[in-house]
Amino acid sequence: MAESLKNRQPESLVAALEVERARPLRAPLLIAVGVDQPTDPKVLEIENICAAAAACQNLLLAAHALGLAAMWRTGPAAYDPQIKRFLGFDPDQHIIGFFYIGYPESERISHERPGFEDRVTWINA
């Protein structure tokens, strides 16, 4: 990831490269999830992406149910052909997430979440 950053931004400071180099090590398990291009002409690409994203959400829910901490991240590395090649993905595959999974260092702090009311519109037909 540091090499990828250096290729994208050659002027990157050494400190920024060290931060990038440490990213994959922030959890004991890192899972990269990719999506294949559809091979059936009846299947839309967005359907594959949405199905993979739903599977990723289930991965997060399962990890949390087991008492693990899990975080979904993407960033520029997810679009970098060099990263895709390193991870064994084909150039036309989308990386939809890097999942960092491990045991939490502290108790989870619950935050009050906003309601759905300002995000949902009900239409009566």
Who has greater pLDDT, 1 or 78? 78
DSSP labels, 21-72: HHGGGSSSEEEEEEEPPPSSTTS-HHHHHHHHHHHHHHHHHHHHHTT-EEEE
Instruction: Return the pLDDT at 54.
Output: 97
Looking at every residue in the chain, the average pLDDT score rounds to: 89
> What is the mean pLDDT of the segment spanning 69-82?
92
- Type and span of the H or E element at 82: helix 81-87
List, for residues 3-18, the tens digit of each pLDDT value. 777 777 777 777 777 7
pLDDT over 90 at 30, yes or no = yes
Provide CATH code, domain 29-102.
3.40.109.10
pTM of the entire structure? 0.76
